[in-house]
Amino acid sequence: MAIKDIVIDYKHRQAGHCESGATSNLFNFYGLDLSEPMAFGTGCGIYFSYLPFLKLMFAPMMSFRNFPNTVFHRSMKYLGVDATVIKKFNDKKESMDALDRNLEKGIPTGVQVGVFNLTFFPPEYRQHYNMHNMVIFGKEGNNYHVSDTVMEDPQILSYEDLARVRWAKGAFAPKGKMYWINNIPTEIDYRSAANQGMHKSVYEMIKVPFWLIGIKGMRVMARDIRKWPKKHGNEKASFYLGQILRMAEDFGTGGAGFRYIYGAFLKESGEKFNNDEMLKAADLMGKTANRWRDFTYIGARNCKNRAKPEEDYGMLGDMMMEIAEGEFKVFKMLDKITI
């Protein structure tokens, strides 16, 4: 399908996290301000799961973020915005034709992609990670204009390269997924949206009955970390620890980064809706995020054989348990708040 050249007047802005950044920028395109933290919080971006019986790159699978497209879908739902999400297509051509039709209508469109073959990513950023998000806002000839909030400036991808990353293989394969906003109501109830998003996150972090989700999962992982050297040997234990560090710092913003963004959501909401308890929770979330950074720093020293004698797996397990209890306090506080 050939379309005439079109570049939508879309403002590219960098962000801390790809999907919440894309959601915020798409919302702002239609003339209403939605900060990245507010998009992240109303969209329930905060999350944790630990699934040791599944392997990602030969190590226990864990996630510090919610499932792909959750932030966009839930934030639009709670804000009362008419939006469309197409979860999968039958083939590459069908997905690219659908994208072209949106661009012809002047609709900037979010897409989920794998980062390994993103040509504008530095080589050290390219990993087999399929939950990355960016916005397509134009096409000229065979090239597409891309707003990727990781990058300082908009980028260009060829038709072939964009199709390749939209159809990356592996875990959470995007299968051409795309999403966009149809219409925004004249009045937005930000208070209700923030309240709904917050309490949904409370449920997912401390109330889900499954023992490997949320704070329960953190506690299980903390106990497992202590056992890894004896159970698996030092080499495999170090490899498993490295997986935590990659997930916590590199993949999709990571553990600490998400906690800082969520703390910013709590702070913005507390100030916007005059709620002192949310401000207290924001402060505690920031302290917990700092402890995540301490954990990854000491964990990296351990992986590189530069740790002090006391910085062993027992200490790391204790730190993880401390982090879990800190986040538990945050969500117990939020559970009692109605904005």
Radius of gyration of the CA atoms of the chain, in A: 20
32: its two tokens = 């209403």
Single residue among 183, 212, 233 that ends a domain in this structure: 183
Crossing angle of helices 190-202 and 313-335, rounded to 10°: 140
Judge if 99 and 12 occupy the same domain. Answer: yes
- Alpha-carbon distance of 59 to 37, in angstroms, equals 31
Does residue 47 fall inside a structural domain?
no
Same domain as 207, residue 164: no
Question: Do 209 and 307 share a domain, yes or no?
Answer: yes
Q: Do 98 and 109 contact (CB within 8 A), yes or no?
A: no
Contact 67, 133 (CB under 8 A): no
Run of H or E residues at 322: helix 313-335
How high is the pLDDT of residue 253?
55
Residues 247 and 329 in one domain: yes
Tell me the pTM.
0.92
215 and 167 fall within a common domain: no
Q: Which of 183, 203, 238 is the last residue of a domain?
A: 183
* Orientation angle between helical segments 276-303 and 234-249, nearest 10 degrees: 140
Decide if 328 is inside a domain.
Answer: yes
User: Do the Cβ atoms of 153 and 147 come closer than 8 Å?
Assistant: no
CA 106 from centroid of its chain's CA atoms? 27
Residues 117 and 209 in one domain: no
**Final residue in a domain of this structure, among 152, 183, 214:** 183
Same domain, 15 and 159: yes
Regarding whether 151 and 15 lie in a shared domain, the answer is yes
Sites in the chain below the pLDDT cut of 70: 1-2, 250-255
If one counts the domains in the chain, the total is 2
Asked if residue 210 is part of any domain, the answer here is yes
CATH number at residue 106: 3.90.70
Q: What is the phi/psi pair of residue 97, to 5°?
A: -65, -40
Instruction: Flag whether 64 is in a domain.
Output: no
CA–CA distance, 68 with 200 (Å, rounded to integer): 16
In a domain, 43, yes or no: no
Q: Residue 255 and residue 257: Cα distance in Å, rounded?
A: 6
Residues 162 and 311 in one domain: no
Residues 211 and 319 in one domain: yes
Same domain, 249 and 135: no
pLDDT tens-digit profile of 243-299? 888 777 765 556 678 899 999 999 999 999 999 999 999 999 999 999 999 999 999
Residues in the chain: 339
Whether residue 94 is found in the same domain as residue 227: no
Categorise residue 99: left if φ over 0, alpha if ψ from -120 to 50, beta otherwise.
alpha
User: What pLDDT, on the 0 to 100 scale, is given for residue 255?
Assistant: 66
Domain that holds residue 165: 6-33+82-183
> How confident is the model at residue 68, as a pLDDT?
83
